[in-house]
Amino acid sequence: MSLRQDGRLKSVDRGAHPSLTAYFNAEDVKDAYNAGEPADDWDTYRAPWSAVLEHFGDYDRQSAEEALRTVLPDILRLGRSEPAACPNGRTLTDDVTSARLAMLTGGKITTDHIGPHTDLLPGFPYLGTPHAG
C-alpha cells in the first residue's frame, strides 16, 4: 500500500491472486492494474486476459472466461465450510506459482518444480530463518 496525493491508500501490488499481472499484463499495463479497483477488473481485463489464455492454454473463449472468474476480480474469497487452499483462501504452503502456470497453460505445465516452503514455524510470524545466500 502507498499513500496517494489525496491522502487515500492505494494498492501498489495486488496480492489476493499473486502473479496475475506478471503473466497476464503487458509491462505498460501493470501500473494501471495495480492502481485499479477490483470492482472494475472484469470489464477491464476479461477480453485481454481471455486472449492470453486462448493463446497459451488453447482455451476457447467460454472456457477462458470461466477460468478467469476464479481470479477476477482480484479478491481472495474464503468459504468457511471449505478447506483453505487456493482459490478458497490461501495457506502459506500453497504453491501459487504452479497453480497459476497450470491455469495459464490449460494444464500443460502443472509445476514450476520449486514447491512451497517446508520450513515454516508453527506460530507467528511463521516464516523461518532466512536461507543463506
| pLDDT tens digits, one per residue of 41-72 | 999 999 999 999 999 999 999 999 999 998 89
Smallest Cα–Cα separation from 112: which of 128, 97, 90? 97
pLDDT at 62: 97
| pLDDT above 60: residue 3 | no
Q: Which helix (H) or strand (E) holds 9?
A: strand 9-10
Q: Percent of the chain at pLDDT above 70?
A: 89
Tell me, what's the pLDDT at 108? 96
Pairing, β 9-10 against β 2-3: antiparallel
Across the chain, what does the average pLDDT equal? 85
